[in-house]
Structure formats: structure tokens, C-alpha cells
A and B are shown apart, each in its own frame.
Chain A
Amino acid sequence: MPKSVTGLAAPLPLANVDTDVIMPKRFLITITREGLAEGTFADLRFDEAGNIRPEFVLNKAPWKNASILIVGDNFGCGSSREHAVWGMGQMGLTAAIGTGFAGIFYDNARKNGLVLPIVTPEARDAMLDLAAAGDGLEISIDIENRNIIAGEMSVPFEMDDATQASIIRGGDDTLDSLEHAEAIRAFEAKLGDKMRVSVLK
């Protein structure tokens, strides 16, 4: 897995972009993880008739080819749907830089290797301006050293140790956690009968 990601950045300054906007519900009636690229930001990208909205940033040159978003506050709020993160990945997005993310979205991103650096409002606003200008802005996110290079700017970012390790290392949390099976059994052995839910009884 990567220690850094690099790509063209697109500005998406709207605040409170919720997971209903990232992945509208009509794309959720599925039992697989696949086929979600088309649904990602669908109501921003396409009009009711399915025509491209030319004014939306990801439909315009040069940002059509963006792989990194600079986003508004509280990105990813709302529903727990991991489909939002799967779809962003399938659309070719590798990172979103913001001032703060909703908790479930942040954890879902970590599970899928979507990089979410947290920066100050000032740094975010400066990157939004740079990304919106002319030919676009190439950004490099150094995950290992928690630093972003954006044009002339060098911006430190916040990312907790466990998330950072998980993004760099990749791997499978479920399988890794099963290595603690003994500890889980020991914990369960301490539970009284009244602390063991049984829905089947």
C-alpha cells in the first residue's frame, strides 16, 4: 500500500456534503460492492434526464481527471453507507483533504484506503483557491510524514496513528483481529450469564 498519493486536486468547497449526496439511495439497492462509480455524486454530476451538468467541477477540464478532492467542513456526514467510500474509490478518487470528517465516514475510508488528511481551515481554504485556479493543482500527500505538498505550500496534516498505519499497511482488519481470538474468548469467559445476549431464545 502507498506511503504517499499524488494527483490533480479538484475544489469541492460545499460544507456538510452528506453520504446521500455522495451516493444517492437509488444506487444502494445492491448486494455487491461493484458498479458504484456511476452513482458517485450522481445528482451533482447529472441532471434528472441523465445529461452531464457542465458546471459541476468534476465534469470540467482539467478537474475531470482529478483524483484528490479539497472539501468543505464536515464532509461525509449522515448515513453510515460504506457505498459512498466504495463509489469514490471506483471513480478514481484516492484522497479528500478537509478540516474534519464525520466519524463513520472516516472509519469507512480507513477500511478502504481512501486517504483523509485533516488540515486547518486556513490551509484548506488556500488549497481550495489554488485548486480552483487555471490549469489545476497537483498535490502530493506524504502519508508517512503527514505532510502535503501543494504548489509552493507545505502543509502538515492530522491523522491518528492507527489510521495512518492501516492506510500504509493495508491488510485485512477482520483477519488481523482474529489473531486475538484467545483474548476475545477470555473476555467472554468473564461475562456473567446475564451479560450474554441471546436473541434466539
Chain B
Amino acid sequence: MTRTLYDKLVDTHKVCDLPGGDILLYVDFHIMNEYTSPQAFSGLEQKGLKVWRPEAHLSVVDHVNPTRSRAPHDAASKVLIDNLEANCTKHGIAFYGLGDRRQGIEHVVVPEQGLVSPGMVIACGDSHTTTYGAFGALGFGIGTSEVEHVLATQTLRYKRLKTMLVEVEGDLAAGVTAKDIIMKVVQVVGAGGANGYAVEFAGVAIRAQGMAGRMTICNMAVELGGRAALIAADDKAYGMAAGKPHSDGLAFDSEQWASDEGAEFDRIVTIDAAEIPPLVSWGTSPDQSVSIEGFVPDGAADMTPKAKAALDRAIAYMGLTAGQSVQDIRIDSAFIGSCTNSRIEDLRAAAKVLKGRKVAAGVQAIIVPGSTLTRMQAEAEGLDKIFADAGFDWRPESGCSMCLAMNDDIAMDGERVASSTNRNFEGRQGRGARTHLMSPAMVAAAAISGHLADVRSFTPEPE
């Protein structure tokens, strides 16, 4: 019988069936951060339980820590950080805290440390755990009650998902990136269009992507509702999984980690790569995006009153005018960072645009490398100097930062941010803040221009 990659991952990790159609799913590796784990540890405490297999967990501080300096910026966030360290010490769990050179955004740290390999099941109290699909691994986000469950049992109660295949065929046009692919997919499928599905990405344009691009694509699969994202493991995936601090031993080689020829999916979506332009979001949901050559929508004539009201609400929150050219949208800030787009490849792409240029007057530009090791690599390549010369604030510490503004990097009411992040929700980057999602190179182009701009009009400086 032919099986999808998703079926293979679930089948190989099934411990037993449970009543009601659930299964008990074995979790090979589990990651925690400081803000979705405290109540899970207190749950263990109350029930008198111990951690089933402490060596299968990793904790990383990333959500609340400042990136200007190492010390927590307030007492409450210090409590969260200290609490995580104390819980890890107590239960014998690895902890990458502030000042540890392995610290960074959890989904940047894990591949860097060789803790993801094709065929694994990985859970984390963070919705962007779908990132690991880039390796042909099943990664997914869980809530705090499930964090407690996986700590105590190394398993989760799991309901098998439906499967969706997203084929992106053909070649991308120049200046179009993995970020544009996934923003296009979100636009086509819709913000909740993949609720209840595991989404496998396939096709020439996906295979052509390097691992950083594949991680960007799988990372944002949750923005279309995908509970899991997958890409067949190939030499690129095995290549990146190998040779890292923890990867020598890891091998889940009992299967070919790809869907079988002829495997059936519940839904198939096909997208022509050549038709994808550089995209920017204009609204307050990640599916509200448009070509950089496009316009803020003014609503189709056949729109229902409810849809029109939703459109008007998004446009009003964003402080835009229906029908205006998106390139006329002026920005206050630029942010490059987040688990979606802060890897070394992202930094190189942005630096290529910024080299020899200056951030427009009045624009505050921030760059937060995805991890301490990523920052050190970038500094070794001289990228920090390119960013700093251009007028970007090169942050010395790593974390989620202004992607969700749980630290002190908070956009003001009405502040408009060109952002390489994953969510443009109301209030995401600060109460009343206005987020435009785009690729890191497009953020660089916007920062230089002072308004949303087409990266294709910026030819790199000659070497």
C-alpha cells in the first residue's frame, strides 16, 4: 500500500491505539521555552510526577529576553527565565540560557545543534515547530498541558490529520524567495484553509530551495492552519542534519522519508512558481497579501457585506486607503529577525541589498540574528559591518524580539513596520502597531526607500 510521508511518520511513532480514534504518539525530541512551560512543570510537581526521559528535552530562552543586552529588562521576565533554569536543573534537562553561545531562537538553535534529523517526531510549545518539516521530520506546536504530558510520558495523545499536497512547480523569477512562496500559499489556501491538515510541499521550486528556504516555508505553514508541514528528505536535508554537535549518532533510517509514488492526499493545491511576485502583506491576517506592484484592495463587487466589513476593518487598522499603491506605503521601522527569517542565508540576502546603501532618514531599522552562533558567523563574514554602515541596529543578543514583542522591542501605537516575520495580527508587534510581512531582502529594500519597495529594482553593488 502506498503511503504519504505523513503516514510513515505517524505509523513509525505509534505506541498504541487509544479509545475514540486517538493514538499515543512517541515524541523523539521536545523543546521548551520560558513562557509556555512553567505551568507544565508545576503540573508535574502537583501530581508528583517525574520527567520520563530528561535527555530527550531541550530548553532555550528566546521569547522574553532583550536583544540590546544580556540582562533581563524587567523583574517579571527575569522570573520566567530563572524559573526555566531552575526547572531544568531540578529535572536534569539541558538548558541554553542567556550568555550560552548555543542560545538563540529555538527553531534556529535546533538545526544548528544537529538535533533534527529526517524521520523524527518533534514537539514544542510553540506554533512554529512546523519548521522541522523541512527535514522530513514531523514537528508541531502544542499547548502547555501537552508540554506536561510529553514531559511525563514522552508521548502525546494524537489525532491523525488529513493530508494536503501543495505542489509548487516551475522556476521562481529573479528576486523571488522562499518567503514569497509561502506567502503565496497562505494567500491561495487562506489563513484557516489547512486547519486539520498536514501539508506536504513538493515540486521543482521546493526541491530547488536550500534548507533555510525550506525551513521558512514549513515554518509559516501554520499560518494557513497546517498542524504539520513536510518536505521529502533528500541529500540537502541529510547533509544539513549531519556534522553538527549532536548529530553524529542520530539516524532514523528505517524508512524512506518521502511520500510513495502514487500516494493519495485528501487535497491537492498546485501553484505555478513563475507566477509568484515578491509579496507584501497589507492587512492583519497573513493571507492578506499582494504583489509589490499591486494595490491595497478596494473589494470585489460581489463581496458579501460581512467580507466587506472585514476588509474595511483591516484597512482601517492598518491606516491605509483602499486602492492605493503598496509602494506608496511609508514605513517607520524595519525589522529583520524571527524563526521565519533570521538564518545566515537571510542575513546574507538582506546584506546584499544593503551593501553601500543607507537606511532612509527617519526609519528605525533593527536586525536580530536568529542565534548567537548565527550572529558570530555573520560577524566572521563581515555582515554586521554592512548592516551597521547602512544604519541598521545590529543586536548583540538573539531572540524572538520584535516578532511578537514579548521583550522590550515593542512597536508604538500606529508605528508601521516592514518585517521579515510571520504574523501581521492586530497588536502583534505592539498595541496598535502595523506590520507588513515580506522577505528579508524586501525589508532591506523598504528600509532604504522609506516605503515598501520592489527589491528587483536594487541591483547589488559590484563586489
Contact = CB atoms under 8 A, between A and B. Distances in A.
B19 A162 contact: yes
Contact of B43 (A29, A162, A174, A199): A174
B56 A197 contact: yes
Given A25-B404, A201-B246, A77 B192 contact: yes
A21 B426 contact: yes
A107 B54 CA distance: 25
A104 B80 contact: no
Interface residues of A, number: 65
Given A15-B310, A165-B20, A200 B39 contact: no
A138 interface: no
B405 A174 contact: no
B3 interface: no
Contact of B115 (A81, A85, A197): A197
A160 B225 contact: no
B458 to A, nearest CB: 32
B212 to A, nearest CB: 23
Contacts of A162: 18-22, 157, 159
B26 A187 contact: yes
A173 B252 contact: no
A18 B191 CA distance: 11
A78 B127 contact: yes
B250 A197 contact: yes
Contact of B64 (A29, A102, A173): A29
A142 interface: no
Contacts of A83: 144
Interface of B: 15-16, 18-22, 24, 26, 28-29, 35-36, 38-39, 42-43, 47, 49, 52-58, 64, 76-77, 79-80, 83, 92-94, 115, 120, 125-127, 141-146, 148-149, 152-155, 157, 159, 161, 191-192, 195-196, 223, 225, 227, 246, 249-253, 285, 306, 310, 313, 404-406, 413, 423, 425-428, 431-432
Interface of A: 13-16, 18, 20-21, 24-25, 28-33, 43, 48, 73-74, 77-83, 85, 100-104, 107-108, 111-112, 160-166, 172-175, 177-178, 180-181, 183-184, 187-188, 192-201
Given A43-B431, A111-B146, 11 more contacts: A25-B406, A77-B191, A78-B127, A83-B144, A104-B141, A173-B149, A183-B24, A195-B250, A195-B251, A197-B28, A199-B29
